[in-house]
């Protein structure tokens, strides 16, 4: 009876280890994907602001002559 309990605990530990490994892998994948999406979106926003800002900017030249 004690050997069956030890075997059950070992099998449960292995299953738990495998399941937690997959969960951690999925969570890290999601975090990495969100990071890259935020990086691309932030770069696009900055590019939009730089390009849009140059159109609205007024160039003033002093009257030298």
Task: Give pLDDT tens digits for 9-55.
Answer: 999 999 999 999 999 999 999 999 999 999 999 998 888 888 876 65
- Burial call 33-49: b when 16+ CB within 10 Å, e when fewer: eeeeeeeeeeeeeeeee
The predicted structure's pLDDT at residue 13: 96
- For the cut 60, the answer to whether the pLDDT of residue 56 exceeds it is no
- Residue 30 maps to a domain: yes
How many domains, in total, are found in the chain?
A: 1
- Residue 7 maps to a domain: no
- Residue 45 maps to a domain: yes
Give me the domain span that covers residue 34. 24-53
Between residues 60 and 56, the one the model is more confident about = 60
- Residue 8 maps to a domain: no
- For the cut 90, the answer to whether the pLDDT of residue 57 exceeds it is no
Between residues 18 and 1, the one the model is more confident about = 18
């Amino acid at each position: 009876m004690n050997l069956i309990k030890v075997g059950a605990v070992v099998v449960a530990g292995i299953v738990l280890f495998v399941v937690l490994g997959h969960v951690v892998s999925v969570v890290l994948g999601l975090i990495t994907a969100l990071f890259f999406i935020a990086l691309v979106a932030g770069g696009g926003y900055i590019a939009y602001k730089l390009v849009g800002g140059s159109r609205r900017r007024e160039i003033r030249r002093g009257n030298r002559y």
